[in-house]
Structure 1
Amino acid sequence: MKIGILGTRGIPNNYGGFEQFAEFFATHAANAGHEVFVYTPHNHPYTETKFEKVHLIKCNDPEHKIGTVGQFIYDLNCILDSRKRNFDIILQLGYTSSAFWYDLHPKKSIVITNMDGLEWRRTKYSKSVQKVLKIAEKLAAKKSDFLISDSLGIQDYLLKTHNKESEYIAYGAHNFDSPNEEILNIYNVEKHNFNMIMARFEPENNLDMVLEGVMKSTDEKPILVIGNHNTKYGEYLKNKFATCTKIQFLGAIYNLNHLDNLRYFSNLYFHGHTVGGTNPSLLEAMASQALVVAHNNLFNKGVLEENAYYFESSEDVKKILETIKKNDNLQFVKNNFDAIANKFNWNKINDEYLQFFSKCLARN
């Protein structure tokens, strides 16, 4: 198959979940003999025209000059370029800034959209923007040839809301079982004597709730807060918790080996996401053998089931911090590690995508 992957900020990944998926899937598909192209912003730091066996197509992305509206222009540029490529399959990752251009996709290509999470629920958006995102979701659901849901909750939502069937294919992770305790020295922490949370600094990821619980608790373990905090919301949180010395804002960390080791040696790993599907950082925490404490919602419970502790308030966080230890809950850790091996491993996920693409071509 000739496959085009649109909707990311390029590979190799230096941004987030869709980019990481695109990197893993594109290289897997190329190694399986398919011709794979990934669209990449013109100013991506990786300057080669190929990444391993994957072709990279650079398109102008003016976001750094004009802000968010630049994402719409970048997606338009990618879709217009795809009309020249004669792709069998176009995999569109997300829809927030591309759905309004769907009629411009090449007619002979099969357009498959991974619908991501419920973007319109993100509280960082104004009411008017949330309405626009709901329209974008409806357009993507209606105009795509086929849909992919990365969680059963999203699959159910699409069927009930848009009367559209979708293929459930989860996100993936690699099991981590080669810890290196020396990496902890870089971050000045001791094994099982620190907690952590990793997320984008957005209200719906409940950083505020978790850190409120940390500040209230009598537990003196430090908590490492990982994510780009040089944002308006990040400044708000840093100012709010400036007097709490247990809270350490580390910024973004992209070194996967460091992250794996931090998760592995942590006491508790907090996951506050509320609007996504199968969240990448949650699977990576499970794969890194962390003891997960997650916000209580259907997306997180659909992945973790009974193998985690759940919170809905800062008081819940406080109580968990004061009473729960990783070493007392190693069965939860093992069950989640096994779930990655059996249900969420990348080879299985990547093969499910390729099998679905073949079915879509046959149906078409």
Structure 2
Amino acid sequence: MKIAIVGTRGIPNHYGGFEQFADFLSQGLVQKGHDITVYSSKNHPYKESDYNGVKILHKYDPEDKIGTAGQFIYDLLCMADARKRGFDIIYLLGYTSSSVWQRILIKKSIVVTNMDGLEWMRSKYSKQVQRFLKYAEKLATKYSDHLVADSIGIQSYLKKTYNAESFYIPYGSHVFSEPNKEDLIAYGVTAYNYDILIARFEPENNIEMILEAFSKSSTSRKLLLIGNFKHTDFGIRMARLYGEDTRICFLGPIYNQVALNNLRYFSNLYYHGHSVGGTNPSLLEAMGSSSLICYHNNDFNRTIVGNDGFPFDNYNGLKEIIEGKRKEDFFHFLTENIEKIKNIYSWQRIVDRYEDYFLSIIPKS
């Protein structure tokens, strides 16, 4: 198959979930003998035209000059180029800034859209932007030939809201099996004497609830917050409100995957407050790194973790978890979550499912 992946800032991953997904999926499909192209921003630090057998096409991206509007220009340039190259499938990751251009792809290739999460519900957006994102979501369901949902919750939402059928394929992850306590030294913590949160600093990730509950708890553990808190006004406010608590450490972003895995592995509790979206990659990574998961109680998270973690709905319930749960008492949760990664969410299984799915939607000659 000849497939283009559009909608990310490019690979190798230097940004986030969709980039990481494109990184693994594209390489996995190349290893199976397929011709895969990933569109990449001209601003991406990797400038080569090949990445482990994946073709890279760099396109002009003015986001650094004009802000969010630049994403629409970048997506337009990618999609206009893709329609000329005879791809069997054009796989769009997300719809935020691409669905308005989907009509130019009609009858040129099979267009598949990964519907991501409920972007229009993100509180960081103004009401006007939220209305546009809801419109963009509707356009994606109308002009895509096929839809992929990365969670059962999103699949149900698409059916209920638009009577749109979608194919469920979640994200993938790996099992981390080579822990090394030496990586903890740089962060001033010791095994199981700290909790951890890894997220973008946005209100819908329930970071403020987690910080409030932790700051008012009696625990002597530290809390490591990993993410670029200086990137948003919300993050800056959180650091100002809670940064004086000596237990709470705002570390900023960490891009070393091995260090992140070790920090997850040796943490006591891992907080996952995401409330908008589908299968979040960071949640699967935490499960694969033997984290004891404390998650916001919603359909998306509950479908993945279920009874093998601690759901929270409010400040009081979360405070009780913080003060009462020790990892050493719940190793059976870790074992069950590792089995999920091996049997449901391994990257090999996800790549296999994508190959089967793509092959099934290409007309037989």
* TM bucket normalised to smaller: over 0.9
Secondary structure of 1:48's counterpart equals coil
Which amino acid is 1:43 matched to? Answer: N
Structure 2 counterpart SS, 1:260: helix
Structure 2-normalised TM-score?
A: 0.98
> Matches of residues 9-158 of structure 1 in structure 2 within 5 Å?
9-105=9-105, 107-158=107-158
Alpha-carbon shift at residue 308 of structure 1 (Å): 0.6
Aligned pairs for 1:325-364 (under 5 A) are 325-362=326-363
Quick check: 1:82–1:106 contact (8 Å CA) kept in 2?
no
**5+ residue gaps, structure 2:** none
How far apart are the structure 2 equivalents of 1:314 and 1:110?
Answer: 46
- The residue that corresponds to 1:159 in the other structure is 159
Shift of 1:319: 1.0
Check conservation: 1:220, 1:246, Cα contact below 8 A.
yes
Task: Report the TM-score when normalising by structure 1.
Answer: 0.99
Deviant stretches of 4+, over 3 Å: none
Q: Deviations over 1:161-213 (max 9, x none)?
A: 01111000011000111101110111111000000001001000011110001
Distance 1:243 1:116 in 2: 36
State the 1:106 CA deviation: 5.4
Equivalent residue of 1:273, what SS?
coil
State the match for 2:304 in structure 1.
303
Q: CA deviation at 1:229?
A: 0.9
1:91-148 superposed Cα distances (whole Å, 9 cap, x missing partner): 0000001111010125231000000011111011111111110100000011100000
SS of alignment partner, residue 239 of structure 1: helix
In structure 1, C-alpha distance between the alignment counterparts of 2:123 and 2:162, rounded to whole Å: 22
Aligned residues: 364
* Structure 1 pair 93–363 and aligned structure 2 pair: CA distance change class (3 A): farther
Give the distance between the partners of 1:3 and 1:243, measured in 2 at CA: 50
Deviations 1:211-263 (A, max 9, x none): 00111000010100000111211111111113211110011111111111000
Amino acid of the residue matched to residue 268 of structure 2? Answer: N
Q: Return the letter of the residue paired with 1:196.
A: I
Q: Quick one: distance in 2 between partners of 1:221 and 1:153?
A: 34
> 1:297 is aligned with what amino acid?
N
The within-5 A match list for 1:201-220 is 201-220=201-220
Cα displacement (A) at 1:19: 0.4
1:314 CA drift (Å): 1.9
- Partner secondary structure for residue 177 of structure 1: coil
CA distance 1:348–1:174, change in 2 (3 Å):
same
Q: How far off is 1:363 after superposition?
A: 7.3
Give distance in 2, aligned partners of 1:166 and 1:30. Answer: 25
Equivalent residue number for residue 168 of structure 1: 168
